């Protein structure tokens, strides 16, 4: 479509800046001078996708190469989707505005299960056959990566290639293979996929046959055509040498997180048993303070951002936090850049650093106890005690804070009513504490906000074997919590439990769910992570029509010998370790973190990181 | 510290950037330019930026006016202008950097060029008829959220029409602007498109200038 017409159509919908492109730092190339065009798709809105660090790293990495042009694609909001369908505008990349069907690769990043229908919607809007087997030509190749690729099976029908683990190396290896294959005159998709499957970290679902037993449980994954029996995730072993973008596309319009973000380490030493990120990104690998400071400085210089934050799963666990911050506070102060350090524990900081920290804007006071009693916190291996929380709150109240935010989960394994009531009790204790602290802000009340999410068992965690509680039970527990709170000083919020229920099914689903996702999509499901769009009835209908039961996937205990749909994928942590951790959880026994003592999870096989630190 | 005024053109992708977001964009531009800009104190220092007259989302402009402060009174203005120009994204074109002559409150009129795409169904004849009518009554939402009827015929200054019958017609007009009385040309054009049965939104508006009550250029 002619650009001027298209642009007038942007103006007929909300937030036209989502679709126009042209931001500072976005990359424009001459398409006739590149060999490979890559459409990097984030299956959600511009505002969410542009807040995502991983996408920016890969965008920069790909575009550093003269022979590749990587462009960005986001899911249009429903208003513009309607216009696109009415006016026959195929889904286009922001930079060139070319339809995604013209690209060599269409790559999705899978950050959450509820974006799966958006993947299908984006392919359909691009005029691309949804199923891998219906795309007969070599291109466009539909590829996907990101955390959800650790159980890619529900999307196996639609995606040609999954990248497991960190993408920086494997993505380029596949792109190079593609270039080579095309240069030799190759045109056969299956032949190319077979070659790609030989690359470490590449999973080609079409090269595996799956067998099921009478109940529907997977019995075996049978590799074909020389595909490996297990596929291992890729891990960047030296983050100091890994690519980090010097420049980023900087949105003109407001997005969710609009600031320079600096990654300081990958992985997490903690091993909280519910947390998928804590297991699939193992082992912990850190960047050195020098590299972080240099890269962060360069990033601020090139983007013009006046705000920066550090990214990791748990900033306080960075082993050299003192030297890092003490230098960072110096230069950000000089450059008038405000540094945000969310949920940083400062208990052990030196007086000098504490003094410097005064120059930094205080962020809110937040804790994630996740469970209401010490017993349950031991079960989930969440290493935070009531005493820790009380101590930090007392200091904070004396220092002028009047609000605390607490994060909890409901539906954790072994949870009893006592644990639920414990959440309310902890909140009440903090309220009481406030009125007993000398030096609290005069004449001001306290607000404790409690945010509750539903526990969803995820693959590659010790709780991958657990049943997820039913929606009715969920509602009963929510009501119990509501009834247990007797003061207006505590405010309560939660996520829609039906959404969590679906998330649970998709997270541990098998290949047969492809049919359900497709059916739900055909019935109108999309933007499922948005409360205003989510329609549970559609999904239930889709399950019905496919003769599958959500409970089969989420509500039963999975035995130690059951073949999980992700068991042929290797993310470093062994199934034996996960089973052992599950047993310890049931007994309420905690496991020390990686710095205290190696728990033998298996991730030391990558030969780098925390596993080799001196303890 | 000294007050300075930047004049620039806004178009391209910046057309889709709202007035509110422009603040963020220009803050970054100033930072990237490395011009010694005066910053506010506190945890979140930022330059003190004001725009003379907001521009509606979707409009381009040949004459945007933005005030900010330089920290160094003696900094070479030509050099500063060039540094800012180099830091601007595609879609912002710096015209001049000067010391302000008038207060922003002195703006009384704005001039616009309106280009119709074919979907708008505009013809020279119907445009002329529409604009020459004795009364052009439209409803306008007031600041308080109510709706009132106004007669645009009384507000409309001299206008000219360009192009021929079959090509995009360019309508140039003058409307009251600023704090006292502000008329968005969309009000007028949407009323016209309503009559022609054309497709809404299929016209482009470019703000060409800002004028004082005496119809002098606002500087
Ligand atoms: S091998 Fe040991 S130290 Fe390494 S990640 Fe696993 S538990 Fe932690």
Q: Mark whether A136 and A247 lie in a shared domain.
A: no
Q: Mark whether A186 and A272 lie in a shared domain.
A: no
B161-187: per-residue pLDDT in tens? 887 766 667 899 999 999 888 899 998
The domain that contains B53 carries what CATH number? 3.30.70.580
Range of the domain at B44: 2-100
pLDDT of residue B134: 87
Give Cβ neighbours of residue A549 (< 8 Å, ≥ 6 apart): A543
Q: How many domains does chain A have?
A: 2
- For residue A63, pLDDT beyond 70: yes
Q: How many domains does chain B have?
A: 2
Is B87 near chain A, with CB under 8 Å?
yes
- For residue A175, pLDDT beyond 90: yes
Count the helices and strands in chain B (H runs, E runs): 4, 10
The domain that contains B204 carries what CATH number? 3.30.2350.10
Range of the domain at A104: 3-225
- For residue A48, pLDDT beyond 80: yes
The minimum-distance atom of ligand 1 relative to the CA of A599 is 7
Position A480 confidence tier, pLDDT thresholds 50, 70, 90: very high
In this complex, the residue of A253, A307, A336 whose CB is nearest that of residue B17 is: A253
Q: Is residue A141 part of a domain?
A: yes
Q: State which of B82, B100, B118 marks the end of a domain.
A: B100
Q: Mark whether B135 and B80 lie in a shared domain.
A: no
SS3 category, B45: coil
Question: What is chain A's mean pLDDT, rounded?
Answer: 94
Q: Mark whether B72 and B169 lie in a shared domain.
A: no
pLDDT of residue A122: 98
Mean local confidence (pLDDT), A609-615: 91
pLDDT of residue B163: 77
Q: Mark whether B14 and B33 lie in a shared domain.
A: yes
Count the helices and strands in chain A (H runs, E runs): 21, 19
Q: Is residue B219 part of a domain?
A: no
Q: Mark whether B93 and B119 lie in a shared domain.
A: no
Q: Mark whether B118 and B161 lie in a shared domain.
A: yes
B110-142: per-residue pLDDT in tens? 999 999 888 888 888 888 888 888 888 888 887
Nearest CA-CA distance, residue A345 and chain B, Å: 20
Nearest CA-CA distance, residue B12 and chain A, Å: 8
Q: Is residue A608 part of a domain?
A: yes
pLDDT of residue B166: 63
pLDDT of residue B52: 95
Which of A100-114, A145-159, A542-556, B153-167 comes out lowest in average pLDDT?
B153-167
Is B28 near chain A, with CB under 8 Å?
yes
Q: Mark whether A67 and A192 lie in a shared domain.
A: yes
pLDDT of residue B93: 97
CA dist A591 to A272, A501, A580, Å? Answer: 9, 29, 10
Q: Mark whether A132 and A86 lie in a shared domain.
A: yes
Q: Mark whether B137 and B76 lie in a shared domain.
A: no
A51-62: per-residue pLDDT in tens? 999 999 999 999
Position A348 confidence tier, pLDDT thresholds 50, 70, 90: low
User: What is the rounded CA–CA span in Å between residue A13 and residue A10?
Assistant: 6
Taking CA A435 as the corner, what is the angle to CA A431 and CA A441, rounded to the nearest 5 degrees? 105
Q: Mark whether B116 and B145 lie in a shared domain.
A: yes
Q: Mark whether A123 and A145 lie in a shared domain.
A: yes
Q: Mark whether A75 and A182 lie in a shared domain.
A: yes
Q: Which long-range contacts (CB under 8 A, 24 or more apart) does A317-320 make?
A: A317/A265, A317/A268, A317/A269, A317/A270, A317/A284, A317/A595, A318/A264, A318/A265, A318/A286, A319/A286, A319/A595, A319/A613, A320/A286, A320/A288, A320/A289
- For residue B42, pLDDT beyond 90: no
Q: Is residue B216 part of a domain?
A: no
Q: Mark whether A123 and A192 lie in a shared domain.
A: yes
In a 13 Å sphere around the CA of A305, the CA atoms on its Cβ side amount to 27
User: What is the rounded CA–CA span in Å between residue A547 and residue A554?
Assistant: 16
pLDDT > 70: percent of chain A? 98
Position A288 confidence tier, pLDDT thresholds 50, 70, 90: very high
Position B210 confidence tier, pLDDT thresholds 50, 70, 90: very high
Selection from A332, A477, A323, A320 nearest residue A408 by Cα: A477
Which of A61-75, A99-113, A123-137, A307-321 comes out lowest in average pLDDT?
A307-321
Q: State which of B72, B100, B128 marks the end of a domain.
A: B100
Nearest CA-CA distance, residue A304 and chain B, Å: 5
B64-115: per-residue pLDDT in tens? 999 999 999 999 999 999 999 999 999 999 999 999 999 999 999 999 999 9
User: What is the rounded CA–CA span in Å between residue A470 and residue A538?
Assistant: 18
Q: State which of B100, B130, B145 marks the end of a domain.
A: B100
User: What is the rounded CA–CA span in Å between residue A239 and residue A291?
Assistant: 9
**Ligand 1: residue whose CA is nearest its atom 3:** A611
The domain that contains A105 carries what CATH number? 3.40.50.280
Q: Mark whether B79 and B109 lie in a shared domain.
A: no
**Ligand 1: residue whose CA is nearest its atom 8:** A594
Which of A36-45, A201-210, A349-358, B187-196 comes out lowest in average pLDDT?
A349-358
Q: Is residue B50 part of a domain?
A: yes
A384-394: per-residue pLDDT in tens? 899 988 988 88
ipTM over cut 0.85: yes
Q: Mark whether B150 and B203 lie in a shared domain.
A: yes
Q: Mark whether B109 and B206 lie in a shared domain.
A: yes
User: Packing angle between helix A536-545 and helix A497-507, nearest 10 degrees?
Assistant: 40
Chain B hits for A4, CB-CB cut-off 8 Å, are 117, 204
In this complex, the residue of A19, A258, A338 whose CB is nearest that of residue B44 is: A338
């Amino acid at each position: 479509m002619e650009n001027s017409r298209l642009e007038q159509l942007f103006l007929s919908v909300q937030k036209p800046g989502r679709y126009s492109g042209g931001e500072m730092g976005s990359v424009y190339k001459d398409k006739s001078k590149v060999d490979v065009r890559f459409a990097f798709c984030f299956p959600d809105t511009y505002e969410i996708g542009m807040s995502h660090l991983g996408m920016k790293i890969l965008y920069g990495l790909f575009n550093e190469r003269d022979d590749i042009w990587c462009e960005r694609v986001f899911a249009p909001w429903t208003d513009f989707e309607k216009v696109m369908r009415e006016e026959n505008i195929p889904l286009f990349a922001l930079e060139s505005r070319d339809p995604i069907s013209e690209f060599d690769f269409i790559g999705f990043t899978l950050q959450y299960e509820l974006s799966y229908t958006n993947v299908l919607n984006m392919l359909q809007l691009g005029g691309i056959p949804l199923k891998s087997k219906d795309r007969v030509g070599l291109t466009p190749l539909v590829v996907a990566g990101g955390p959800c690729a650790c159980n890619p099976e529900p999307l196996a029908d639609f995606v040609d290639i999954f990248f497991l683990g960190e993408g920086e190396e494997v993505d380029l290896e596949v792109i190079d293979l593609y270039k080579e294959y095309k240069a030799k005159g190759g045109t056969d998709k299956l032949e190319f996929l077979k070659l790609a499957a030989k690359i470490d970290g590449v999973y080609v679902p079409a090269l595996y046959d799956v067998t099921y037993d009478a109940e529907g449980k997977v019995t075996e994954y049978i590799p074909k055509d020389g595909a490996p029996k297990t596929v291992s995730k890729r891990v960047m072993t030296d983050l100091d040498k890994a690519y980090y973008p010097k420049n980023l596309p900087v949105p003109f319009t407001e997005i969710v997180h609009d600031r320079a973000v600096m990654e300081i380490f990958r992985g997490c030493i903690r091993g909280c048993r519910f947390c998928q990120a804590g297991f699939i990104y193992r082992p912990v690998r850190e960047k050195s303070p020098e590299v972080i400071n240099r890269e962060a400085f360069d990033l601020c210089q090139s983007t013009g951002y006046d705000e920066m934050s550090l990214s990791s799963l748990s900033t306080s666990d960075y082993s050299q936090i003192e030297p890092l911050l003490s230098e960072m506070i110096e230069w950000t102060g000089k450059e008038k850049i405000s540094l945000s350090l969310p949920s940083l524990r400062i208990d052990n900081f030196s007086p000098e650093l504490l003094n410097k920290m005064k120059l930094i804007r205080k962020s809110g006071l937040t804790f994630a106890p996740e469970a209401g009693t010490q017993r349950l916190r031991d079960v989930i291996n969440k290493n935070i005690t009531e005493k820790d929380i009380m101590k930090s709150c007392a200091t904070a109240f004396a220092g002028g804070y009047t609000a605390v935010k607490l994060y909890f989960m409901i539906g954790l394994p072994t949870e009893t009513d006592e644990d639920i009531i414990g959440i309310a009790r902890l909140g009440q204790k903090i309220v009481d504490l406030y009125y007993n602290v000398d030096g609290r802000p005069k004449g001001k009340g306290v607000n404790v906000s409690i945010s509750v999410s539903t526990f969803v068992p995820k693959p590659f965690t010790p709780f991958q074997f657990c049943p997820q509680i039913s929606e009715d039970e969920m509602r009963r527990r929510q009501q119990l919590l509501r009834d247990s709170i007797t003061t207006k000083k505590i405010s309560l919020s939660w996520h829609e439990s039906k959404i969590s229920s679906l998330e649970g099914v998709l997270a541990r689903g098998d290949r047969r769910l492809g049919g359900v996702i497709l059916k739900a999509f055909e019935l109108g499901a999309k933007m499922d992570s948005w409360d205003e769009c989510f329609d549970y009835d559609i999904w239930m209908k889709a399950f019905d029509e496919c003769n599958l039961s959500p409970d089969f996937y989420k509500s039963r205990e999975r035995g130690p010998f059951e073949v999980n749909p992700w068991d042929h994928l290797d993310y470093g942590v062994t199934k034996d370790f996960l089973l052992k951790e599950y047993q310890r959880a049931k007994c309420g026994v905690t496991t020390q973190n990686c710095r205290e003592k190696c728990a033998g999870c298996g991730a030391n096989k990558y030969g780098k990181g925390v596993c080799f630190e001196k303890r | 510290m000294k007050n300075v005024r930047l004049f620039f053109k806004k178009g391209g992708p910046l057309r889709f950037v709202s007035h509110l977001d422009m603040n963020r964009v220009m803050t970054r531009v100033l930072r990237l330019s490395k011009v010694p800009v005066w910053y506010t104190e506190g945890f979140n220092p930022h330059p003190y930026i004001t725009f003379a007259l907001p521009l509606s989302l979707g409009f381009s402009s040949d004459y945007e006016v933005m005030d900010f402060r330089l920290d160094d009174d003696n900094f070479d203005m030509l050099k500063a202008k060039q540094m800012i120009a180099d830091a601007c994204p595609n879609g912002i074109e710096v015209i001049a950097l000067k010391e302000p002559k008038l207060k922003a409150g002195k703006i009384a009129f704005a001039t616009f060029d309106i280009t119709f795409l074919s979907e708008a169904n505009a013809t020279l004849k119907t445009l002329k008829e529409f604009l020459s009518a004795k009364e052009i009554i439209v409803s306008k939402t007031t600041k308080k959220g109510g709706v009132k009827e106004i007669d645009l015929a009384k507000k409309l200054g001299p206008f000219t029409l360009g192009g021929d019958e079959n090509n995009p017609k360019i309508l140039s007009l003058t409307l009251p602007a600023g704090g006292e009385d502000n008329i968005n040309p969309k009000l007028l054009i949407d009323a016209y498109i309503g009559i022609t049965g054309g497709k809404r939104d299929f016209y482009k508006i470019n703000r060409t200038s800002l004028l004082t009550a005496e119809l002098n250029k606002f500087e």
